[in-house]
Structure 1
């Protein structure tokens, strides 16, 4: 009895099957290439049509699309069911749409301007705005409505009919109760029907900025870290050449002859050289922790920003080198106004860094070690996290932590190597910093 080998047991594929597979692959490739060619030609045409239709389609409001859809459904139901009532509904809706279209036609020849006075104001101050609209064309323009976004709100103005060369102005007040960066504009003229089916807008101006600065207090120039130190701050590093004298020692070969103290050498009978403590140029690091969970309320957050701005402005006035930063990056410190402008952009953040120490570590990674580090935090930061953040720098860096807590008593305590200042109200800051300077 003979058995077939495995090779003989396999079924042989018919030559026609291979040819059919190859033919199918060729057809599929041809179809794919044809589809790609058609798509490459149709896609630009579709985009061009879309760009042409966008101004027309964009005029129709959400209510307008609902009206058109309802009219189309009414026509279908009228044909399908044969009900005359749906014909009346469709005719009424389409008539309303046609009448609304008449309100969006027309050309406006406006010259529009926005003025804010002043452009910078302290929170709680008064800021006024002026919108001027003039007809720069040679024909009268019909009455229109002008919309002006101001911060989170919007001001609406009814502009009357203007003859050629005529001008009208509208005054408005800007809310400045809280620190903010308020954007006014752009001014938009609106054409449309009273029902709101169609709406066409034209932009006439760009946005302008209004800086609502935080409230600040003037600090005493004798506070620690705010005094201009011509010699710099001394460290524990001993050097042979500096300004802060430390002690004398015996001359050793290789010492600079200029450091020899000749009077002592003559008295003792052997060469003595000066030793000095190394000094560094005073440099203050001012950091603000804007983590939302670290503050008990929005008012506490605003108090923290006011503390930051008060300390920073005083340091800049004293012409001490300073770097100011928060979670979103460094702040400008060329002038007090630049710092106050950037403080208007500070907002609370969520989960930007896992800990306060990690925030300070990443923010100061490429910065030289400061002589004084001041960190402003909220009341919800625990003592352990504050100790960890203070240990980020060496012992040559003095650290001050200013914790804002509206429910606590103002006090001055030690927290490890750091001075902890608790502030419950902005007027308390000058006296607390003055005590810390002693």
Structure 2
């Protein structure tokens, strides 16, 4: 056998393998194309029947499944009783069909009065339904989610432009943000087999603020005067006069003390001690493991909000943080609104790390107030103190429901234990950084 013949024999298997691979790729592409076509066709079919299937409730699907099952048993075993069951169930679904037909044009509003309350205060809501159509509307049922509950109202037939009002009470026993709405009209049969819904408005929020205690101005180690606190740093521009020194090229002429310059025969300029406005960082630990129960956690939030509200009223620059939330602190209302959103959540880092991260966001803070629970070890507060700069003062408030209020120290930092919210003002007056 010649060399060329042997080479041809060696090439033949590879050519066959190439052909097999080509056929395989072609079959794969064909299968993918067929799969994509089937998926598109299924999507179009689902979109086409969705208006029909969407009105069938869970109970309706169960009834249809039972009807199909009973019919299969009747056909398979010849049991007439199951045929009657299948006919009855299918008939119930068919009788429900006319109830979902019909169209109404409503203008729906949900009003809450007031929009902001303190936990325990009364809040009322009003559902206003106006017929915006040109013909009388048929009676319908309106559902309105309110927090975790669901309010149902029967809306009677309304003449054109006629209005129907429904009043409802909003539970406000606990601090929260309660969402009312959206209002949804429901058309369907009384058995709930078929159900067609229409959404009419956007949700409305009710802020249930935490209870707070009124504190005196400039409490908890805040600014004592309008000019700020004097530091040891010497500067050429400030308020607190320190000393005179000889003029150096580049010094502003407005700092020249002319009387002393005339007396000494050389230019003298003023020096000042730098003053600093107090900036406060307010922190709240939200790890449920640090609190004895939910009541103690709510007490901590009330302490946190009380301190924050007074700081805002004092006009001191402040930042307020939890592990998961940076609260707005420009106004009392915004601070309390965000306080309503605070939730307990397990923390992935220690309090020291939380305080250090928050301090980085406000590096000029001169006072850090930490509000924690009674189950937090005091060593954690000591760790927070050591992580702060030397010129930053730490104040800690421990919520301990039912305990006697007192003031202690961890390291050089005051630690106030609060047993009841009403005791907070007296304790704050005694706290000294």
TM-score, length of structure 2 as denominator length: 0.89
> How far apart are the structure 1 equivalents of 2:266 and 2:110?
81
- The match for 1:326 is 322
Matched ranges for 1:27-426 at <5 A: 27-227=23-223, 229-237=225-233, 242-244=238-240, 258=255, 277-351=273-347, 353-426=348-421
Residues 25-34 or 50-59, more deviating: 50-59
* Cα distance change on mapping 1:433 and 1:262 into 2, 3 Å: farther
Residues 69-78 or 91-100, more deviating: 69-78
Deviation string, structure 1 residues 325-383 (Cα, Å, up to 9, x no partner): 111232111111111111111111113x3200111222332322311111111111111
* Cα distance change on mapping 1:48 and 1:233 into 2, 3 Å: farther
> How far apart are the structure 2 equivalents of 1:273 and 1:419?
42
TM-score, length of structure 1 as denominator length: 0.88
1:428 Cα deviation (Å)? 1.2
**Corresponding residue SS for 2:383:** helix
1:279 Cα deviation (Å)? 2.4
- RMSD, matched Cα: 2.8
- The match for 1:21 is 17
* Cα distance change on mapping 1:75 and 1:177 into 2, 3 Å: same
* Cα distance change on mapping 1:436 and 1:90 into 2, 3 Å: same
Kindly tell me the number of residue pairs found equivalent between the two proteins.
424
Deviation string, structure 1 residues 397-436 (Cα, Å, up to 9, x no partner): 1110111111321111121121111111111111111111
**Corresponding residue SS for 1:380:** coil
Are the equivalent residues in 2 in contact too, given 1:97–1:197 (CA < 8 A)? yes
**Corresponding residue SS for 1:310:** helix
Are the equivalent residues in 2 in contact too, given 1:294–1:377 (CA < 8 A)? yes
Residues 218-227 or 169-178, more deviating: 218-227
* Cα distance change on mapping 1:363 and 1:227 into 2, 3 Å: closer
Residues 355-364 or 249-258, more deviating: 249-258
Are the equivalent residues in 2 in contact too, given 1:369–1:393 (CA < 8 A)? no
**Corresponding residue SS for 1:158:** strand
